[in-house]
Amino acid sequence: MGKLYDRLNQDIRFIEGLNGCLNCGVCTAICPAAEFYHYDPRVICATVQSKDEKMIEALIRSETIWYCGECMSCKTRCPRNNTPGFVIMALRKLSQELGYFTDSEKGRQQFAIKRAIGGNILRTGYCVNPDIVSPQMHPEQGPVWDWISMNTPEIMKKMGSNYKQAGVGGMRAIAPEVLEELDRIFEVTGCYTLFDTIEKHSKHKANELGIEISDEGIGNEYFMTVYTENNGSHNG
């Protein structure tokens, strides 16, 4: 398997993201995730910089690495030109590859993201669009969302979008040749391999927990479990 630290060092984001951290805390002071979660990008840099394999393993098995919102505010301020957000990306990738992400509640959500957003992109060319955001799955959208989702075509028309039609404009249908291109990009960049890895480890976890999981889509018990579970200990 090789040492975790060495594997991180093969990731360009890690090489670019950590140039020697002086532990000043500016990244944490600017980080929106640190305001809400038990999360401290400075400590993450210090942990990784220690090259302590046990601590790095604990980190990529933990909830912590999944709190970052990838906003890259930390990049703008660090006096050493580090980007903790990049370090997080490299840690997440390693956690995905090794299957450690299934050890944590936030990590298990990788499965939901892969099935939902990952599926959406390949099917429609959009990460999210109004058709996909169902009121049942998204109570945070509020009661008005019910009405919008029942009247989407009319509303989209009123708003001047090119809803589901060929050609240009917002909300247009993405052309088949573009979707094919996306498919090739996912193939060439290793995205499909990563998807398969997430599937494999998630299925393993589902079986371990005795929760039903399907081969496709979001209509299965494991999806709903990782989508909704919240142990309440992430912040506060």
Q: Which stretch binds ligand SF4 (CB under 6 A): 28-36, 96-104, 110-118, 124-132?
A: 28-36
For the bound state, the minimum distance from the C-beta of residue 82 to another protein, rounded and expressed in Å, comes to: 9
Nearest distance, CB of residue 23 and another protein, angstroms = 6
Q: Check if the beta carbon of residue 119 is closer than 8 Å to that of residue 179.
A: no
Q: Residue 235, SS3? A: strand
23 lines the binding site for ligand SF4 (CB under 6 A)? yes
Q: Between 32 and 170, name the residue whose CB sits nearer to another protein.
A: 32
**Rule CB under 6 A: is residue 108 a binding residue for ligand SF4?**
no
Query: CA 229, CA 124: separation in Å to the nearest integer?
Result: 28
The first and second tokens of residue 227, run together, are: 């989508």
Alpha helices in 50-189 (DSSP H): 53-60, 73-77, 84-98, 105-113, 119-124, 144-150, 152-158, 176-188
Query: Of the ranges 23-31, 146-154, 189-197, 202-210, which one interacts with ligand SF4 (CB under 6 A)?
Result: 23-31
Contact flag: residue 58 with another protein (CB under 8 A) = no
119 backbone φψ class: left, alpha, beta (φ>0; ψ -120 to 50) = alpha
**Quick one: which segment of 77-85, 100-108, 154-162, 202-210 binds another protein (CB under 8 A)?**
77-85
Q: Which of 13, 14, 41, 163 binds ligand SF4 (CB under 6 A)?
A: 41
Interface pick for ligand SF4 out of 73, 149, 162, 214 (rule CB under 6 A): 73
Q: Which is nearest to 73 in space by CA: 39, 40, 28?
A: 28
- Would you state the structure tokens that stand for residue 82, as one six-digit string? 């580090």
Chain residues in the site for another protein (CB under 8 A): 22-31, 34-35, 40, 42-43, 77-81
